[in-house]
Every structure is written in C-alpha cells, then in structure tokens.
Amino acid sequence: MTPFGTRLRAAMDTRGPLCVGIDPHSSLLAGWGLNDDVPGLERFAMTVVEALAGEVAVLKPQSAFFERFGSRGVAVLEKAVTAAREAGALVLMDAKRGDIGSTMAGYASAFLDKDSPLFSDALTVTPYLGYESLRPALDAAHVSGTGIFVVTLTSNPEGGEVQRATAADGQTVGQVMLGHIAAENGGAEPLGSVGAVVGATLADAGADLMINGPLLAPGIGAQGATPADLPAVFGPALRNVVPSASRSVLQAGPDAGALRKTAAQLADEVRIAVGQSG
C-alpha cells in the first residue's frame, strides 16, 4: 500500500485538511433523538459515514464510545470503518493504545493488519512507557503502509505532569517524543507517516513541531479552539496540521445534509487558516 503520509498529503490537498471525529457518546445520541443502545449507535455512526466519508479527508472514530457496548458495539465500529474507507475517507482509529512487547504487537495487529476487521489507515498511540515501547506498532505500520499518531502535547491540565517534565538532557519529555518522531520520518516525501497529537487549544506549543509528519490538532469547536488559532500554535508546521472537530460538527445531525454543510463550512475556515486555496 502507498505509505500513509503520501495518501494523507493527497487527501489534505484535495479535500482539505479537516478531520471529523465519530464520537457517539450518550449526550450526542440523545441530541439526535436516538436511544443510548446499539441500534442508536449504529444509526449515528453510519449516518456520519454516509454524510461525510465522501467529503472530508479523515474520519476519526473514538473506539471507547463503541467498546462501551461490548462486542455488538465493536461490530458497529467494524462496519463503520469499512464503509468509511470504501467511500474514500482515511480512517484514523482513536484508541490511544500503549503497552510493551507482545501486547503492543497485539494492539497493532487489531488495527493495522490489513486482514483485521478493524483495519484502519492510522492509529493513535500513547508513548509514556517510553518511545521504543511503540516499536511493534511502528513496525506494523511500516509494513502495512498505515500511520501512527503519537500523543505528544495535550491541553488537559494533567498532561503537563509528564509532557512538560524535563528529561535528563534538559528537553521536555514532549520535545523528546517529537525528536523521536522527526527521526522516524527522516527522508520521507511528501510527508512522513508518523504524526504527533498536539492540542489546538494550546496557546503556544512551546516545542519544535517540524517533524516532517502530520500534526493532529484536536480541540476545534466545542473545546474552544478555532481555525484562526492554528497559526499561533503550529507556526511553520502549519501546512501539516490536521485540525480535528467532533461535537461542533456532529451536533448538526441527524440530518445528513446539515452534517455535510457544517463540515464544509468548517473545512473552508480551516483552509483559510492554513493558507490553502479552496
């Protein structure tokens, strides 16, 4: 398969860089007039896929909101992932897996093996058992042409305990992770396949974000960030930012047309913010 970074760059350039989350938590289901059960989950997820998979560059299902329904919820997730990829969207599985050895390899197999029913174009992972604990997932992604997004700098207050702590060489732990990612992407063109998750709600990332890879920027919309905030946070790395919104788009449902319209308006705002022509 063509490397994820290449496919993502093409999708961002043609569809715009917006990522929309598929986050079927109970309040959104209620807002759509749906029951908080498996049929409601499936109606919600498949409506989002139908409305947006042919429009946006990336759809990002949040695995937890499907897993909470057990095996039947995971079955809905499998269906949504397959349908979204068939309609042309790249699927970023937001599962934030992080472990060591064979367990990390098992997570990688679940989401990055082309024969898995949950096969996705990319996976979010957490590196705070040490960057090299991610090696099984990084290797699996290289083999399958998929991507990895490493949770690096988040906007939740607790995140600073680890991410802003100082390593032995004087760098913050977050910056150490960014350095590892940059090394992973060395020489890749037009874009590396290992990305970082950096909150759009940060007033200033306070780090070197030139990693030659994508920067997933959650927090647009309901969490308070706007597309206009992106240049200040991401600076010279702005072209590689993948802004992510969930509730601010999803609350436009259940009408598929309203979802498409809301996503299109936000995508236009994002294009302007990152200096991309329409």
DSSP string, 125-155: E--TT-GGGGHHHHHHHHHHT-EEEEEEE--
Q: What is the pLDDT of residue 278?
A: 58
Write down the number of H helices and E strands in the chain.
12, 8
Query: What is the tens place of the pLDDT at every residue in 101-150?
Result: 999 999 999 999 999 999 999 999 999 999 999 999 999 999 999 999 99
Domains of the chain: 4-272 (3.20.20.70)
pLDDT averaged over every residue in the chain: 96
Rg (CA), the chain: 18
Which residue is it, tokens 């647009």?
220
Distance CA 221, CA 261 (A): 15
Confidence bin at 276 (pLDDT 50/70/90): confident
Residue 261 designated active-site: no
Degrees (nearest 5) of the Cα angle 263, 13, 232?
75
Q: Enumerate residues 6+ apart whose C-beta is below 8 A from 4.
A: 90, 121, 122, 141, 145, 146, 147, 193
Q: How buried is residue 48: exposed, middle or buried, by Cβ count under 10 Å (0-12/13-18/19+)? A: buried
Is residue 42 over pLDDT 80?
yes
Confidence bin at 12 (pLDDT 50/70/90): very high
CB contact at 8 A, 197 and 218: yes
Question: Which of 124, 139, 126, 68 lies closest to 92, judged by CA?
Answer: 124
Task: Quote the pTM value.
Answer: 0.97
Distance CA 42, CA 137 (A): 29
Question: Which of 102, 105, 98 lies closest to 151, judged by CA?
Answer: 98
Is residue 277 over pLDDT 80?
no
Degrees (nearest 5) of the Cα angle 187, 140, 129?
90
160 three-state secondary structure: helix
Query: What is the tens place of the pLDDT at every residue in 204-234?
Result: 889 999 999 999 999 998 788 899 999 999 9
Distance CA 236, CA 94 (A): 26
Residue of 60, 79, 96, 114 with catalytic role = 96
- Run of H or E residues at 121: none
